[in-house]
Amino acid sequence: MSPPASDRRYTFPRTHRLKRRRLIASLFDRSRDDVHTVARGTVRLVYRWASREEVGYDVPLQVGFAPGRTYATNVQRTQTRRYLREAYRLHQHTLREALPADAPPLIAMLLFRGRPEQARTRIPLDVPRVLRATAHALPASSSAD
């Protein structure tokens, strides 16, 4: 049972951040058949179930953020990444509450695929949509290979 909205904590601890290159690379390996993707608007979420040994932490979910490559400056890239992180932080419960209790960790990357000038307006709209769609796409229970 999920906590009431007033009891939710909107934190995003470092253990929930996807930082390991090996795990990130596994999300973009086209030879894998266990990677899934959901796209809504300018945001795409790529995810797969991992084993607890792979992740290294006892967390239900690890998420990474990546803006596109079509940025004139690193300042714009960093700002877009911050918009993604903040939108996820505010709407993370949509996805976290949909995870089965006995499920292995889920690793995911949120990708922004719009123009840099769209980031400020589109990310707050599209991230909740992609998280809801992913929550509906998750199976009731899952197991890692």
Q: What percent of the chain has pLDDT over 70?
A: 91
**Does residue 143 carry a pLDDT above 60?**
no
CA dist 16 and 140 (Å) reads 22
Domains of the chain by residue range: 12-137
Give the pLDDT confidence of 71-95 residue by residue, as tens digits.
889 999 999 999 999 999 999 999 9
CATH level 2 (architecture), domain 12-137: 2-Layer Sandwich (3.30)
Residue 101 has pLDDT above 90, yes or no: no
CA torsion angle for 39, 16, 67, 100 (degrees, to 10)? 0
The rounded distance, in Å, linking the Cα atoms of 96 and 92 is 6
- The predicted structure's pLDDT at residue 3: 57
- Judged on CB neighbours under 10 Å (0-12, 13-18, 19+), 90 is middle
Best CA proximity match to 102, nearest among 55, 62, 63, 52: 52
Q: Give me the pLDDT at residue 1, please.
A: 47
Average pLDDT score over residue span 34-63? 92
